[in-house]
Amino acid sequence: DIKAVEKWLTLSKAERKEMTLLATKANEIDWSADMLTKIPAFIDVDAVIKEKGVSAVHAKEQWVVELINVKRAIASKDKDLCAVVDETVVIAKKEEAKVSSCLDKLKASKEEVINTLRIIDREEAKAVRNGKPYLDESAATSGAAATAAAAVQSNRKPRNSQNRATELVVSEPTIPEEPSASISEGDEAAAEQPTTADSEAAAVPAKNNTPSAVPREQSTVVEMTL
């Protein structure tokens, strides 16, 4: 989380400043000068300790010896603390640099994501206004290629289908006529053509009605009577 990292950096910088200030104050303290200014007998007691040792100091001045020992112990502790503080400050600076670089990367990635979302929203808004769905550039190119291929295939399909249809039509056998139609046509033909009996019946009266046979007999009879 960016906020948590920023908070950690703020706290680390504050602690590092406090440690640096403490180390600076500890380094600025001059214990010898402080003792000399506040304890006038320090020089004499220190000279006696260096020449004859602690046992040579008078009993009434033993408190000065104890104070000197405490001050020296504190001074050594301060030196050790200053060394530790210096090392800690160096390490803290390195860690802060690493965390700061990570924070910069996080901010950059976040800004990139935000910009990408803005672009997508803007393109979607344009697509909605134009009445077209939003498509990515790669998707648009692939879609255009697919539509072109589909158009070519669609242009070829009707020809193949027509050829196949013609082939199927040619190869199909002829369907025989229905018997009902043939029967009806036969009835009509029979109705139109007369039968042989009708033709003979029609022929007989024709023979009987010939004018040549009857008039000749009548004429002979008439001649005989005359």
Question: Which residues lie below 8 Å from residue 225, measured CB to CB, with a gap of 6+?
Answer: none
pLDDT 10s digits, 92-112: 888 888 888 888 888 889 889
In a domain, residue 49? The reply is: yes
In a domain, residue 136? The reply is: no
pLDDT 10s digits, 179-193: 444 444 444 444 445
| DSSP 8-state code for residue 41 | T
The mean pLDDT of 122-149, rounded to a whole number, is: 65
The mean pLDDT of 27-38, rounded to a whole number, is: 70
**H helices present in the chain, as ranges:** 2-28, 31-38, 42-52, 62-130, 137-171, 179-192, 196-208, 213-225
In a domain, residue 73? The reply is: yes
Residue 7: domain span = 2-130
Residue 203 reports pLDDT greater than 50: no
Q: Kindly tell me the sign of the dihedral angle through the C-alpha atoms of 179, 182, 185, 191.
A: negative
Number of domains in the chain: 1
In a domain, residue 115? The reply is: yes
pLDDT 10s digits, 14-31: 888 888 888 888 778 776
What's the token pair of residue 145?
């290629």
The mean pLDDT of 72-93, rounded to a whole number, is: 85
Contact between 78 and 28 (Cβ < 8 Å): no
Q: In this predicted structure, which of 20-24, 44-48, 115-119, 136-140 has the lowest mean pLDDT?
A: 136-140
In a domain, residue 24? The reply is: yes
In a domain, residue 179? The reply is: no
In a domain, residue 182? The reply is: no
**113 or 195: whose pLDDT is higher?**
113
